[in-house]
Every structure is written in C-alpha cells, then in structure tokens.
C-alpha cells in the first residue's frame, strides 16, 4: 500500500481523545460522527457486493460504539435494497448512547429485525443465515479491545473466518490490537477495513496490515485543524514526504558537491557486502565512496566494483587493527561527509575495535549496521556518548542481540520499541523488516510502506546501508536519510519484484533498480497508488 499523502497513525488512546475533542470542544455531535462512519463503511460494502453480484449481508454488532457504527451500516445497506441479517452479540440493555439511538432507528421500522445471539446454541441456529450471506460486516470491537478474544466472541470470529466470502471490518478487524497489529488471541481476517478519522498504528504494520485487507480511510467530519493540532508523533509515510526529502542536484555540481562516503566493511570472505554498500551510496547520489578494509578484503571488494576507492586497514599478527591504523582511519573518517560501518565486518575483536574507535572519535554522521550492531551487545552505552549523529539500522535479530531480548519481543511492538531505543540511546533508528520503522530521539517515528518479502535476501541490508549513508553525505538530516533511504530501497525492491518476481530477487537486482526508483518517485507514477 503506497499512498500519495502521509497520514498520522493514532493509538487507541489518541483516537479517544480526538473523538472527545471533536464532540466536546468542536461541537460535532457523536451521533453525526457515527452516522458518517457507518455510511462510509456501507459505501465500501456496497461496492464489494456489486463485485460479487451479492444481495445479502450479515452484520455482527457488539455492544459499544463499533456496534453502533454497524447499526448505521445495516440501515444504509437495507436502504439500498440489500437484504440484511443483523446479529447482536449483546443484549439491548447493554447498548448505550449514540449506539442506542441508531438501534432504536432500526427498531422503529420493519426492514431489519435484530437477531440476538447470546450463546453457542443461538449461533448454531443462525449458521444457515450466516452461510447464505454474500458479505459479512464485522462491527464487534473496533479499536477499544484490550483483552484476548474469548467465549462467544471467539466462536463468532472463528465462524466468520471460515466463510469463503468478503468480510468488511468496521474501523478494525475484531480481535486485532489497534496499537500493535498483533491479534489478541484470534482476530477477524478482513477482506477490507474501513477506518475512521485517522489511520491506526496496527493497520500500518504486520501482521495487522494482513488482517485488515484493503484499507480505506473514511472522512467522518473531524475538523481538519483537529488532526493538525493533535500532535500525533507516528506517521505512515506517503510519496509526498519522500519527495520533500530528495536532496537538491545543482546542474553545476561536482563530486565534492554530492558528498564522500567512507564504508568500513567487508573482511575477507565478505567482500561483497562492502561492494554492495559502496555502490548503494553511489546509486543514492553520493559523489564518491571509499571502502576501508584489510588488504585482502579490500582488494576483493574493489574487484567487484571499480567505481569504489580504497583505504587499507593494517592489522597485526593477531588479526587486529594496529594503533596507527585506527588513528589513520579516524582521521580519514573525519574528512568525509558520512561514514557507514558494519556490513561483512565480522564480530571479533577486529570489528569491536573499529566500531569503538569510530563511535568515540568520529564527528560526521555514522550509519551503524549489521556486525557493527552485533558487537555492541553488552556495551551499547557507548552510543549515548557519541558526538556524531548515529543512525542505527538493525534487523529484528540484531536489535534483539543489542538489547539482550528475544526477537519475538522486538516484533511484538515494533513502533514503540524503535521509539524507545531511539530516545534511550540518543540515536536515530531504522528498524528493518516488513514495514520498516524509522524513529528519532525526539519521539517521532515513520512507518515506511514500500518493500516486499523478496528483500529478505543476502546483501539487501548492505545496499540499504549504502543508500542511507549516501543520502547523509548529501546533507540529508539523519532521520530523513533513514526514512527516505528505506522508502527508495523498498521501492527498488518492488520494481525488482515486478520484473523478476519476489522469489528471485537478489541484492544486485535491488541495486540496479535504485535509479529507476528515484525516477519513479520524481515522476509520481500514477500506477503507484494501490489504496
């Protein structure tokens, strides 16, 4: 899902506050917001029914405002001549406020007769009606769920997921945590989700993005200034933001104008990592790229890519860099516009000494990736002391090693984890993976939409390291270099997948498509927008 416009990603708490302000401070009646939400969802449901030439819908409503939205959906579907079976999963006595108003509107007419489901036996008796529907509307929980789905609701979720028919979820697939995108035990697998007022964090990251299906944002009548003033710190990155971050390319520019990158990478046996990173920097627009490595590793890296220059790191008879070599490297690094360290570096004492020397002494922007992250496990405090702007680019496994945590813990809430590490360590974080998360120490973060599973291939991360360093060398601010770099890298991967198929992508394919990705961004190709 690549959008033209960037959107804030709200938490459940932030959405409740937006609703409160719209109603209490801006004077928009809650029943109006509910009507707009239900109508927006009904419009999507009608389009989906037309696609399958369907005439009946089953609408499941919970007791809260999400159920109230569902009542509105049911009414609008019925008004369009669609047969509606409305299933209530809570007694009328538990329906309150604006939801009750909409239930009473339905009850006042003969078109829809709410059907109470209070037990497993009730559900079994209605199974034939549910199976006969051409589309299901899920309006059980929305964004407010904070516990695992269980009991009757779990049985309904399982029954919905068993149906081979389109499912539209109202605001959020029921059972999905709106903040993390993690199912709370079990969640509805929607074909489409119509969300209201603002996108939610759990819709932008996986696995939530998969559970949501096609995502639609309905305008429910929030005053435009309400979102502007909300101060939501997490955003879903659209093409507009990527375009704004592109560095200038003056016609009279020269190699020095576009920056010089130093890549400390690629020990013997891993020379390809340095070459991929170096070429990534050049493809991103840097004027010059120099690889620093041992004599043997450097020779192999430069053989891969004649465009790269070299700086030799002398080692002693134990295989560690000499003191003079470390001093020379630091001196050279401080003449550069950006430094990247880590790809193919190894995790022994050689790598540790290089990483510490760079972090302790270099004052230019530093991209820290791969083995450079791994060797900091147990000594990450050094990051807080670095005078340079540091961009940390771990994949979840590397982040887990750095924090002495399990990878599953990193993946459980990628956005908040990236924000916390960025704040606590004073570094910019590019947490790689499906929907890369970029965070800065001030608390803001961006979710990058580009990319596909084909990027899970050897060397892909090395190319990203080079792209980010190349952008930093062109004076792009660290957070912006991270998020623009991830956007371009993902887009290059998407273009490679279109040509070769995602199963067959190599890092070299991604490298080849970087120029095309920049060009597509600048031309704002109309075929991009998928949702």
Section 138-144 average pLDDT = 93
Q: Cα 48 vs. chain centroid, distance in angstroms?
A: 27
Q: What is the pLDDT of residues 245-267, one digit of tens each?
A: 999 999 999 999 999 999 999 98
Per-residue pLDDT band for 45 (boundaries 50, 70, 90) equals very high
Q: Which long-range contacts (CB under 8 A, 24 or more apart) does 406-410 make?
A: none
DSSP of 132-199: H-SEEEEES-TT---S---HHHHHHHHHHHHSSS-EEEESS-TTB-TTT--BSS-----SEEEEESSE
Q: Confirm if 481 and 471 have CB atoms less than 8 A apart.
A: yes
The rounded distance, in Å, linking the Cα atoms of 371 and 36 is 51
What's the pLDDT tens digit per position in 12-35? Answer: 999 999 999 999 999 999 999 999
CB-CB neighbours of 449 under 10 Å: 25
pLDDT exceeds 90 at position 521: yes
Query: Tens of pLDDT along 101-131?
Result: 999 999 998 899 999 999 999 999 999 999 9
Quick check: 528 pLDDT over 70? Answer: no
Q: Is the pLDDT of residue 53 over 80?
A: yes
**Which percentage of the chain shows pLDDT scores above 70?**
98
Comparing CA positions, the residue from 324, 368, 323, 311 lying closest to residue 345 is: 368
Query: Domains in the chain, start-ordered, CATH in brackets?
Result: 7-232 (3.40.50.10260), 240-523 (3.40.1190.20)
User: Strand order of the sheet with strand 135-139?
Assistant: 115-116, 83-88, 56-61, 135-139, 167-170, 192-196, 214-218
The pLDDT of residue 328 is above 50: yes
At residue 385, φ and ψ (nearest 5 deg) are -95, -10
Model pLDDT, residue 526: 45
Q: How confident is the model at residue 530 (pLDDT cuts 50, 70, 90)?
A: very low
> In the chain, count of helices (H) and strands (E)?
23, 19
Predicted pLDDT at 146: 84
What's the pLDDT score for residue 268?
80
DSSP state of 391: E
Structure confidence by residue, pLDDT tens digits, 477-492? 999 999 999 999 999 9
Strand order in the sheet with 288-293: 199-200, 7-10, 234-236, 445-447, 437-439, 428-431, 390-393, 366-369, 338-341, 260-264, 288-293, 309-312
- What angle is formed at CA 177 by the lines to CA 162 and CA 99, rounded to 5 degrees? 80
Task: Express each pLDDT in 183-237 by its tens digit.
Answer: 999 999 999 999 999 999 999 999 999 999 999 999 999 988 998 899 999 999 9
Separation between Cα atoms, residue 448 and residue 427, nearest integer Å: 18
pLDDT of residue 44 exceeding 70, the answer is yes
CA–CA dist 188, 89 (Å, integer): 15
Question: Buried (b) or exposed (e) across 101-115, using 16+ Cβ within 10 A?
Answer: bbbeebeeeeebebe
CA separation for the pair 397, 403 (Å, rounded)? 10
Does the pLDDT at position 3 exceed 90?
no
pLDDT at 173 over 50: yes
Query: Do 204 and 447 contact (CB within 8 A), yes or no?
Result: yes
CA distance 272 to 343: 9
What pLDDT is recorded for position 292? 97
If you average pLDDT over every residue of the chain, what do you get?
95
- Nearest Cα neighbor of 265 from 366, 371, 342 is 342
pTM of the model: 0.94
Determine the average pLDDT of the residues in 363-382: 96
pLDDT, tens digit (0-9, with 9 covering 90-100), for 77-97:
999 999 999 999 999 999 999
pLDDT at 525 over 60: no
Sequence-distant (6+) residues with CB within 8 A of 189 are 160, 161, 167, 173, 211, 213
Higher pLDDT, 228 or 10: 10
Residue 335, class by beta-carbon neighbours within 10 Å (0-12 exposed, 13-18 middle, 19+ buried)? exposed
* Pairing mode, strands 199-200 and 7-10: parallel
Task: Say if CB 40 and CB 196 are below 8 A apart.
Answer: yes
- pLDDT confidence band for 144 (50 / 70 / 90): confident
Q: In 3D, which of 29, 8, 37, 137 has the Cα closest to residue 83?
A: 137
Confidence at residue 529, expressed as pLDDT on a 0 to 100 scale: 46
The residues, any chain, with a CB within 8 Å of residue 160's CB and separated by 6 or more, are 60, 136, 138, 167, 188, 189
Element (H, E) at 322: none
Whether the CB-CB separation of 62 and 31 falls below 8 Å is answered with: no
According to DSSP, the residues that pair with 218 across neighbouring strands are: 196
Q: What is the pLDDT of residue 1?
A: 66
Q: Rounded distance, CA 339 to CA 193, Å?
A: 43
């Amino acid at each position: 899902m690549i959008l033209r416009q960037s959107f804030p990603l709200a938490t459940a708490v932030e959405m409740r506050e937006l609703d409160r302000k719209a109603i209490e401070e801006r004077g928009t009646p809650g029943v109006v917001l509910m009507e707009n939400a239900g109508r927006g969802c009904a419009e999507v449901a009608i389009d989906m029914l037309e696609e399958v030439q369907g005439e009946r819908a089953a609408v499941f409503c919970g007791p809260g405002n999400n159920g109230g939205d569902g009542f509105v959906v049911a009414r609008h579907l019925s008004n369009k001549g669609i047969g509606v079976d409305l299933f209530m999963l809570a007694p009328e006595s538990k329906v309150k406020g604006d939801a009750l108003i909409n239930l009473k509107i339905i009850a006042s007419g003969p078109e829809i007769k709410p059907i109470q489901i209070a037990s497993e036996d009730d559900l079994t008796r209605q199974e034939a009606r549910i199976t006969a529907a051409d589309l299901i509307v899920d309006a059980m929980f929305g964004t407010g769920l904070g516990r695992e789905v269980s009991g009757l609701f779990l049985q309904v979720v399982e029954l919905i997921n068993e149906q081979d028919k389109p499912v539209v979820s109202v605001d959020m697939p029921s059972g999905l945590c709106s903040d993390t995108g993690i199912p709370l035990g079990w969640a509805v697998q929607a074909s489409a989700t119509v969300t209201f007022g603002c996108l939610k964090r759990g819709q932008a990251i996986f696995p939530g993005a998969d559970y949501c299906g096609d995502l639609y944002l309905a305008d429910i009548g929030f005053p435009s200034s309400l979102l502007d003033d909300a101060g939501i710190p997490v955003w879903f990155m659209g093409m507009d933001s990527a375009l704004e971050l592109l560095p200038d390319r003056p016609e009279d520019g020269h190699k020095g104008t576009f920056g010089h990158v130093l890549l400390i990478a690629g020990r013997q046996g891993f020379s390809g990592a340095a070459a991929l990173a170096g070429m990534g920097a050049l493809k991103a627009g840097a004027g010059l790229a120099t690889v620093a490595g041992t004599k043997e590793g450097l020779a192999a890296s430069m053989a891969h890519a004649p465009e790269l220059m070299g700086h030799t790191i002398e080692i002693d008879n134990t295989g560690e860099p000499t003191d003079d070599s470390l001093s020379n490297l630091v001196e050279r690094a401080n003449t550069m516009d950006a430094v990247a360290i880590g790809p193919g570096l190894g995790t022994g004492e050689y790598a540790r000494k290089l990483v510490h020397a760079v972090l302790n002494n270099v004052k230019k922007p530093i991209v820290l990736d791969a083995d450079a992250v791994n060797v900091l496990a147990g000594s990450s405090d050094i990051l807080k002391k670095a005078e340079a702007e540091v961009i940390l680019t771990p994949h979840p496994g590397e982040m887990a090693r750095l924090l002495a945590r399990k990878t599953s813990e990193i993946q459980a809430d990628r956005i908040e984890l990236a924000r916390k590490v960025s704040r606590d360590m004073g570094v910019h974080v590019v947490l790689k993976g499906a929907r890369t998360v970029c965070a800065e120490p001030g608390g803001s973060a961006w979710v990058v939409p580009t990319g596909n599973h084909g990027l899970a291939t050897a060397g892909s991360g090395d190319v990203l390291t080079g792209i980010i360093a190349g952008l930093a060398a062109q004076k792009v601010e660290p957070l912006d270099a991270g998020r623009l770099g991830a956007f371009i890298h993902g887009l290059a991967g998407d273009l490679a997948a279109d040509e070769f198929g995602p199963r067959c992508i190599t890092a070299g394919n991604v490298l080849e498509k970087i120029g095309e990705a920049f060009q597509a961004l600048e031309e704002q190709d109309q075929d991009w927008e998928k949702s």
